[in-house]
Amino acid sequence: MTRVKQITGVTFNWRETVTEKDPTRREAGVLADQVKAVMPEVVIDREDGYQAVQYEKLVPLLIEAIKELSAEVEALKNR
């Protein structure tokens, strides 16, 4: 869960220079630099010079964080 806590969820608009996306549409995501610091294998360097997060590869990290939280909740319930 420590790694998940180092990643910030954000909302953003694409830059006008990104032609395949609508710059007026608000999106949700995470910061590639933060993800790269904790899971570099999830971030790729695109041909246009930007980094991209492979969101599907974040799922295992999130599953493990949920399991940790679930164990903590169970321990607190059993007190």
pLDDT digits (tens, 9 = 90+) for 16-31: 887 788 889 999 999 9
Q: What residue numbers bound the domain in which 72 lies? A: 2-77
Q: How many domains does the chain have?
A: 1
Per-residue pLDDT band for 57 (boundaries 50, 70, 90) equals very high
d(CA 49, CA 45): 7
Per-residue pLDDT band for 74 (boundaries 50, 70, 90) equals very high
Per-residue pLDDT band for 77 (boundaries 50, 70, 90) equals very high
Question: Which residues 6+ apart lie within 8 Å of 6 measured at CB?
Answer: 34, 37, 38
pLDDT digits (tens, 9 = 90+) for 41-53: 999 999 988 899 9
Which long-range contacts link 37-46 to residues 24+ away (Cβ below 8 Å)? 37/6, 38/3, 38/6, 38/7, 39/3
